[in-house]
A and B are shown apart, each in its own frame.
Chain A
Amino acid sequence: MLLIENISKSFGEKDVLNNVCFKVEDGSIFGLVGVNGAGKSTLLRVISGVYRPEQGEVLLNGQNTYNDPSARKDILYVSDDPYYPYGSTIETMKTYYETFYDLDEEAYKKYLQMFHLDPKISISNFSKGMKRQTSLLFALAVHPKLLLLDEAFDGLDPLIRLSFKKALAELIEETGISVIISSHSLKELEDICDSFGILEDTHMSTYGDLLESKENINKYQLAFTEEYGKEDFASLDVVRFEKQGRVYQLVIRGNEEDVRTELQKKDPLLIDVLPVNFEELFIYEVESRNEAEHE
């Protein structure tokens, strides 16, 4: 289990992470999301032991990932801009990974075939997507206990994305590894993540089970004979309020049954409940907090 306890990190006078806490269970895929510059990459670097936090600690199965190098044997960090020394090929990078990690030769061959990559060509001649595939190839072949993927889907074509998600799901099923993926492609994350966290204003504003969180917020389409304003729904946790004539669209946080009962009190002509996806969840969470701050 990965435990992140009160992590704070700043660059000079700029606070990037402030008291960030969360945990990732074994066999879980954690989607790390946030607006640009929210500190996702910084958090992944702190977890992988690249950055030293000013405060707090990161524990992987009880071992501190910054202070204890042996803990990092179980972590593989794939950054958003992977490092390939000049002139290196997939074969030379294999030397690197098999020297420092437990590279599974069979898995390496399998994923090399899956990504259709030539191991003898210099990586500097690869396209951005191929470079990304190279790093994912080793991420899958090394079998760490914790895999950290920064912008994992960046530059990948839809077919490769699908193959990678499938391979990752298989790997988790077989080995029970934990994965933290940061990405702006929330649709991709929604397919594979079981938990998520939203980094916002230097701290983890929301985190938890993705399914539960999605169930706790819904889109309601309503029609009333009378006119209502947002203030008339003050008893509910309304995240978004839209009105067109007598048709209302409200995004409301809370148990669907409870919300529905509350809405029935206003005698609506129509109630339709629509589930929200991860992207909408992210947008509503961030927007509602921004609105609350402005108010």
Chain B
Amino acid sequence: MNKNVFTYLLKSKKILVVFLFIMNLALMLTPYISSMRTGNYYVSWIIGYVFMFGTCYILPPYLLRFIQSKNATDSYFSLPVSRRELLNTNLLFSALVSYCPFLVGAVISGIIGLAGGHIEITELFRILFCGLLTVAVLTLVNSLFFSFANTLFDGMVMIAAYTAMPLMIYIVLGVFFETHVAGMSYWSSLLDGVRYLSPAFLCGNIVGGGSKRIVYYIVLAVYAVIAYVLLSREVVDRKAERAEQISDHFFAYPFVIYFYAFAILCMITFFWGNRNFISFFKDSIIYYILLLFIFTVANFVYRRKIRFEPKTFVFFAISIILSLLVGLAANKTQGFGLSRMYDHNPKSVSYVYNGPLSKEDCEELEIKSEYVSVFVELQIPERLMNEPQYSEAMKIMENSREKAIEDYYTKSDQDRTNTGYLSIRDNFTGEGNYVHYDDSGQYGYTVYEPLSIDQLRVLSKITQVSIYTDDKELILP
């Protein structure tokens, strides 16, 4: 920290500082205008938190923009101040301007909440800590993203691109799970890990966060340290002549453009990858052309001119080939083996089956209705897992699951007629109306071969098997 730099920032930015302070404080106290309820403290905190969150995206580029302007670098880098001190002081100033209004507002609201007996003082300290952590992480991380670029505009693009990157990863993986991993969906708990890639998401969730709160704190602290180390290197070792040049740093446009291009290509492959090549090519060519257009525009934004370089198109073609190879590998390996990554020896298991009956089975039961649907709900708690009847039922359901996984990778959409659905949840606790399911261990399968009447009869010994027709509900005896 450099006292002179801090004094100068304070003197030269006093209007901004006062404006942000008054704005945030006024917004935080807004809930008390409509009603002076002591319980308004939480709304006030959230308003302040959101405002502070926003300033962490605006202030770092505003204060660090001197590294990206030719004449500003002449002034700032020739000052009798080391670059590290210059950086540290600007970061500290940015963090304080973001945090202090929130601190004051949160303390006022907290005191009102405490007076009303709504909260304990530890809760107030916790929210203040969360605010401090959020400001520290977002200021450092956004400054780092900004420093990759060589102009103010590019810096803002980098902040937006890197902030949205975890969301992009989530979407691509979600599409992959939905289309290439039998039993798992867009909302699979395996995707929960992606949230740790997003400092912004974690910062937005540490106020709540529940049991994962401590993990969030640790991950965010790690982000802050990494961001500071990299940012210091970027600014201290920065070549001043980079200012106002094209942002050709590896982690600027070159990485961002190819990351998004490859992510979208993978998404296209995953969407269409279960078809034969001719059909796939016919359906997806329009998306490739559209993406090539977007890719060209992105390169124009990067280089400030349209340049048709063979190298660019070769890289684009290589990206397409790579994405197709990823899609092919995902298909051949049954979702990179993820479709088999369920608990093969669960302590307890719950099955919900909903499917049709074969013509022969309908005739055997003398059902003449056009619409026939079988519904079975089977819960096998831990204490019954080894009972012979339950073991046998479980075997039927697990065989159905295995068949469903195989069919998922071999059958096409055209085969998707008269199919059923099998939902499985592992390792629940409790029984009856008090069953508690964990977030993980939830699977859903399309069943191409419905359960036979013989199998249903085995199940009916331990649970109710309902058969719905056009006009009535039958219980399988």
Contact = CB atoms under 8 A, between A and B. Distances in A.
Interface of A: 11, 45, 48-52, 69-73, 75-77, 79, 81-83, 85, 88, 92, 95-96, 99-101
A75 B72 contact: no
Nearest to B79: A100
B4 A99 contact: yes
B398 to A, nearest CB: 63
Nearest to A52: B239
Given A45-B240, A50-B240, A96-B8, A81 B71 contact: yes
A73 B80 contact: yes
B414 interface: no
Contact of A99 (B7, B69, B82): B7
21 contacts: A45-B74, A48-B78, A50-B73, A50-B240, A69-B81, A69-B82, A69-B85, A70-B80, A72-B79, A72-B81, A73-B80, A75-B78, A81-B74, A82-B71, A83-B71, A83-B74, A92-B12, A95-B11, A96-B12, A99-B7, A100-B8
B82 A83 contact: no
A50 B241 CA distance: 9
Interface in B21-62: none
Contacts of A96: 8, 12
A77 B69 CA distance: 16
B75 interface: yes
A100 B239 contact: no
Contact of B12 (A69, A95, A101): A95
A83 B78 contact: no
Contacts of A70: 80
B77 interface: yes
Nearest to B237: A52
A11 B71 contact: no
Interface of B: 4, 7-8, 11-12, 69-75, 77-82, 85, 239-241
A45 B75 CA distance: 10
Contacts of A49: 77-78
A83 B80 contact: no
A83 to B, nearest CB: 4
A50 B78 contact: yes
Contacts of A83: 69, 71-72, 74-75
B78 A72 contact: yes
A72 B12 CA distance: 22
B189 to A, nearest CB: 49
A77 B74 contact: yes
Contacts of B74: 45, 48, 50, 77, 79, 81-83
A100 B240 contact: no
Contacts of B8: 95-96, 99-100
Contacts of A85: 12
Contacts of A95: 8, 11-12
B13 to A, nearest CB: 10
Contacts of B71: 79, 81-83
A148 to B, nearest CB: 8
Contacts of A11: 241
Contacts of B85: 69
Nearest 10 CB-CB pairs, A to B? Answer: A73-B80, A83-B71, A79-B74, A48-B78, A72-B80, A83-B75, A99-B8, A50-B77, A77-B78, A69-B82
Nearest to B248: A12
A99 B5 CA distance: 8
Contacts of B72: 83
A51 B80 contact: no
Given A70-B80, A77-B78, 19 more contacts: A45-B78, A50-B77, A50-B240, A52-B239, A52-B240, A71-B80, A72-B79, A77-B74, A79-B75, A81-B70, A82-B75, A85-B12, A92-B12, A96-B12, A99-B8, A100-B8, A100-B79, A100-B81, A101-B80
Contacts of A81: 70-71, 74
B242 to A, nearest CB: 10
Nearest to B69: A83
Contacts of A73: 80
A99 B9 CA distance: 10
Contacts of B82: 69
A84 B274 CA distance: 60
Contacts of A88: 12
B58 to A, nearest CB: 15
Contacts of B4: 99-100
Given A50-B74, A81-B71, A100 B12 contact: no
Nearest to B3: A99
B117 to A, nearest CB: 49
Contacts of B81: 69, 72, 100
A45 B74 CA distance: 7
Centre residue among B11, B74, B75, B239 by max chain A CB count within 10 A? B74
Nearest to A81: B71
A79 B70 CA distance: 10
A76 B78 CA distance: 8
A96 B7 CA distance: 10
Centre residue among A50, A76, A82 by max chain B CB count within 10 A? A50
A76 B4 CA distance: 17
A73 B79 CA distance: 7
A171 to B, nearest CB: 20
Nearest to B66: A83
A11 B244 CA distance: 14
A137 to B, nearest CB: 15
Nearest to B245: A11
